[in-house]
Amino acid sequence: MSDTGTEAMEPRAEAAKLDESDELRGKRAEFSGYGLDEVVYLDGNSLGALHRAVPGRLAEVVEHEWGRLRIRSWDESGWWTAPERVGDRVGRLVGAAPGQVVVGDSTSVNVFKAVVAAVRIARGGGLSDTGAGPESGGGGPARDEILVDAATFPTDGYIAESAARMTGCAVRPLPAAGIPAAVGARTAAVLVNHVDYRTGRLHDLPGTTAAARAAGAPVVWDLCHSVGALPVELDAHGVDLAVGCTYKFLGGGPGSPAFLYVRRGLQPRFDSPLPGWNSHADPFAMASGYAPAEGAVRGRVGTPDILSMLALDAALDVWDGVSVESVRAKSLALTDFFLRCVAAYVPAGRAESITPAAHAERGSQVALRCPDAGDVMAELIRRGVVGDYRRPDVLRFGFAPLYTRFADAERAARVLAEVLTEARGGGAAD
């Protein structure tokens, strides 16, 4: 998305021009009716806005599929296969061919499954799809380290520590940029956030994946802050394992189920630490011994959470006919424009961006550091600009390109300037 010809325009006029030329502008109407026009909502990187299709679909599921068909809906309404069917819809958005993504459980549970399975894969034959590649040769050091992005979301770190205790490994925290140089013969698994949840920094998925694979170690990518915001291309970059949530940019709703990606070639050797009846090769045999199903199904554990799964399924309808590349182009244009507005409106020295300026290093949020950030965000919300706050001093603004307008970005920067100017005792901003 280009802003050619807008450089010298006043920000409000520039916003209007950019909104008029936005190829995704029609998508916002699919989120209307729930107060989206009453506030500037820039917290879609925490909880996405409600899509209009979801309430009606949920009512149908509750009243007809559950209320009338009852147990028959496992077959007649397709409940049983929903984790794979919805998984394939998510897979399109992360560059995964069908049959490699399963939806279910939380991100935390899926991180645990993926990290433990990654260690077992690395120790049991490496990344060769046959399990008998050069990585499996004896005589080398034991694979006993799990490398973790040192700035990871806390749960990922907690889960990595637990996985390490289970597998006899040690966790080694490192800056994400330093992981490619650190992987080696002792690396059992790598866990990295694709986008840093605090700063919005986009980490190098292709380079990190290639370096880890060369060392025979699987990487588990946490895609929570990138799925639905930018192209990921898991298959194209040879990613082995990935997880992510669906309640942010995908708009699945609070607590909507997460997803797990397992590269097709590794699926026969994906050894889940949580073998449940839903991932059994013959679940209704009720056998006392566990035999894993073929394919991505072995990433399942227990009974699928149908209500939230089908709410997500309805929310994904908004993505029909939308290219992730168009979403990425608008995301970058929105964040660029917001940063320009902040520079134009906010008093010098009152807020500092800690989000990378380079497009190749930026997700779909802008994080600003400022004193009294908690009080500032509370006042912004009171005035109708909803972002969020991360202690001790970070304001986060998430830009969901399917419904966020350039006018929203301009208004948010203008209100932020008013709040910061008044807090300094300087009166109203221009």
Question: 41, 197, 247, 261: which is the annotated catalytic residue?
Answer: 247
**Whole-angstrom distance, CA of residue 31 vs CA of residue 45:** 16
For residue 48, give the DSSP letter.
P
User: Is 153 among the residues known to form the active site?
Assistant: yes
Q: Up-side HSE of residue 239: CA atoms within 13 Å toward CB?
A: 31
User: Is 345 among the residues known to form the active site?
Assistant: no
**Whole-angstrom distance, CA of residue 219 vs CA of residue 348:** 42
The total number of residues shown for the chain amounts to 430
Question: 149, 196, 222, 388: which is the annotated catalytic residue?
Answer: 222
User: Is 222 among the residues known to form the active site?
Assistant: yes
User: Is 158 among the residues known to form the active site?
Assistant: no
* Other residues' Cβ atoms within 10 Å of the Cβ of residue 287: 12
**Whole-angstrom distance, CA of residue 229 vs CA of residue 367:** 16
Give the ranges where 124-262 is alpha helix by DSSP (H).
Answer: 154-167, 179-182, 205-214
Question: 28, 201, 248, 405: which is the annotated catalytic residue?
Answer: 248
Give the ranges where 124-242 is alpha helix by DSSP (H).
Answer: 154-167, 179-182, 205-214
User: Is 408 among the residues known to form the active site?
Assistant: no
Question: 172, 198, 362, 396: which is the annotated catalytic residue?
Answer: 396
Closest among 271, 272, 280 to 303, alpha carbons compared = 280
**Whole-angstrom distance, CA of residue 343 vs CA of residue 195:** 24
Q: Which residues are part of the catalytic machinery?
A: 153, 222, 247-248, 396
